[in-house]
Amino acid sequence: MNEKWLSLRIKDNSNLEIIGSYFDSYSLGSQIDNDEITMYFFIDDKEKIENIILDINRKYKFKHNWGSLEPQNWMNKWKDFFTPVEIKQNVLIIPDWDQNIYPHKYLIKICPAMAFGTGHHASTQLVIEHMLDYDIGKKKTLLDLGTGSGILSILAQKMGVLDIVSIDIDSVCEDNFHQNCKLSNVPEINFIISDVHDYDNYDYGIILANIDKKNIVKILDKYQKSDSEALLILAGLLDSDLDDIKDCMKSCFIDNMKQKDEWVSLAIKKYDK
């Protein structure tokens, strides 16, 4: 583990979540405060991050500056900004230091230290809205591709799905995933460290993929080539990605779409054979 992490602060008036999405593959976490987003990275990734900055700054013209953060200060940083996340008055996501009593049907408690997803991002919230609308607890099996901190898998378990497989390529999030299961009082969920594209079994009732456009295109292709009849819920997409995603759809259709700001989530089904 590095003795310090890098912090990158970007100032922009209107595109912070979009800008932040370009760094998702490397970011250890982020926080948004008014017109600034601060993201944290391993020192070894600085050159890669600089290349992303050069590429997207041609379009967004933002100001940025680098800093560093001692590991012991990480949790204090999260405590400064973390607020509970409520979705449709049924789901509440809180940090592990929050000891308050809440009336929500589905309470998810997480440790946000180096977490891969805290529920604050619009994409996660849109997927959760789909999960509630489709009452996915009626399904027996679920595949969570790019699970990160496990919020979606934990909610699925609480909603009644008992057979869940959660996959992420980054081994760093494994301990956090299992810790969040314990904090949220759910049984252990089957967590697999793997590239999502190396996992070929799509025989599930529900498939979730809150990831990014490039990976979603590949997942959508594999889904259509499989015999799976799953409800496929996709997120991590911008509204500008919609035409490209629709062009990839040959044997399936959008059953429902949700949008929050520039972010969209799609619930997809296959056509009847």
Q: What is the pLDDT of residues 104-162, one digit of tens each?
A: 999 999 987 554 678 888 899 999 999 999 999 999 999 999 999 999 999 999 999 99
Confirm or reject CATH 3.30.460.10 for domain 5-77, answering yes or no: no
Q: CA of 55: how far to CAs of 62, 66, 79, 186, 249, in Å?
A: 12, 17, 32, 42, 29
For residue range 219-269, list pLDDT tens digits in order: 999 999 999 999 999 999 989 899 999 999 999 999 999 998 888 999 999
Q: Is residue 39 a contact partner of residue 7, using CB atoms and an 8 Å limit?
A: yes
Confidence category of residue 273, pLDDT binned at 50, 70, 90: low
Tens-place pLDDT, residues 33-43:
788 898 888 78
Distance CA 117, CA 115 (A): 6
Q: How confident is the model at residue 212 (pLDDT cuts 50, 70, 90)?
A: confident
Average the pLDDT over 100-105 and give the result: 95
Instruction: Write down the domain spans for the chain.
Output: 5-77, 119-270
Are 265 and 237 spatial neighbours (Cβ–Cβ below 8 Å)? yes
Q: How many Å apart are CA 6 and CA 8, to the nearest integer?
A: 7
- Cα gap 75→96, rounded to integer Å: 11
Predicted model pTM: 0.80
Q: What class is the 119-270 domain? A: alpha beta
The single-letter DSSP state of residue 162 is -
